[in-house]
Amino acid sequence: MPGLLQPAAWGVLYSGLMDSDAIDPGSGAGDLDLYRFFAFLFGPPSADRFAWLGRSECAAFLRLLWLEFDDSEPPAFSAYGSYAAYESAYMALFEVGMPGPPVPLQESAHDTATPPPVTLLENIAFYRLLGLEVNRVRFAPDHLVTQLEFLAALRYARDRAQDAEGVARLAHAERDFLDRHVLNWLPLAQAKLADAECGPFGPLATLLTRFARFERSALEVATAHVPAAERPLSHAVSLRS
């Protein structure tokens, strides 16, 4: 299955990004790319995702992960009893409804202050910084899964950067994208899911939001010494007035 973000140099990396075999709940949080992890969990219904959520060690891993970012008592992360229940819950929450689904997984559905075309174009402009193009057959440019895959690509590139300046610039890109896009709307969606009867998706959205905020805070240190003139994302990507 093709990746959500396709190009040139990244096709091999993303050819199997969403495969459940790449998500091992036996791994520690420090060994797992959590952007990839959450992109997998919030992907469309599939037998692989349903099976993963039903694994005996899954709930235990999610509770341990919760404690990485919060001192409160972890929720149950209860799995759905059948694939039909899982699929119908996902569709009813995120995909269908009148006039739209209750909690769309798209930034433009929650950020009402910005025209949707501007939101889409800004996301695309960020992706092109790494030479990535969106596979619109699967998800929109501002869909949560697409945004998380881009953050995974940024992290992958940063981990392999050859010099400190490259590391800092990629860290700044990651921080900027979290600020302008993911954390611009994800807390709103998370709050809606917290008020809904939605099985594990509510706690998963809360966990993802806390992880994103944790990463944003950590990136503040990594980007503090980058001069403004060397921050290519500060102004060039913004299409807002």
In this prediction the pTM is 0.84
Q: Which residues contact 127 (CB under 8 A, 6 or more apart)?
A: 5, 133, 134, 141, 150
| Dihedral sign of CA atoms 23, 25, 30, 31 in order | negative
* Domains with residue ranges and CATH for the chain: 5-230 (1.10.3480.10)
Tell me what pLDDT residue 79 has.
Answer: 85
How far apart are the C-alpha atoms of 56 and 25, rounded to whole Å?
10
- Which of 210, 175, 205, 192 is closest to 41 using CA atoms? 205
Q: State the angle between helix axes of 201-223 and 164-177 in degrees (0 to 180), rounded to the nearest 10.
A: 140
10 Å CB burial of residue 16 (0-12, 13-18, 19+) is exposed
How far apart are the C-alpha atoms of 231 and 176, rounded to whole Å?
10
Rounded to 5 degrees, φ, ψ at 143 are: -75, 145
Rounded to 5 degrees, φ, ψ at 43 are: -70, 175
143 forms beta bridges with 106
pLDDT tens for the chain, 241 residues long, are 334 554 433 333 333 333 444 455 455 555 578 998 899 999 999 998 898 888 878 888 888 889 988 888 888 888 888 999 999 999 999 998 778 899 999 999 999 899 999 999 999 999 988 888 887 777 889 999 999 999 999 988 888 888 887 788 888 899 999 999 999 999 999 999 987 777 889 999 999 999 999 999 988 766 666 555 455 554 455 656 5
Helix (H) or strand (E) holding 84: helix 83-90
Tell me what pLDDT residue 181 has.
Answer: 95
106 forms beta bridges with 143
Rounded to 5 degrees, φ, ψ at 133 are: -120, 145
Tell me what pLDDT residue 228 has.
Answer: 54
Tell me what pLDDT residue 198 has.
Answer: 77
Would you state the structure tokens that stand for residue 80, as one six-digit string?
Answer: 């759905």
Tell me what pLDDT residue 203 has.
Answer: 92
Tell me what pLDDT residue 238 has.
Answer: 60
> What would you measure as the largest C-alpha separation in the chain, in angstroms?
54
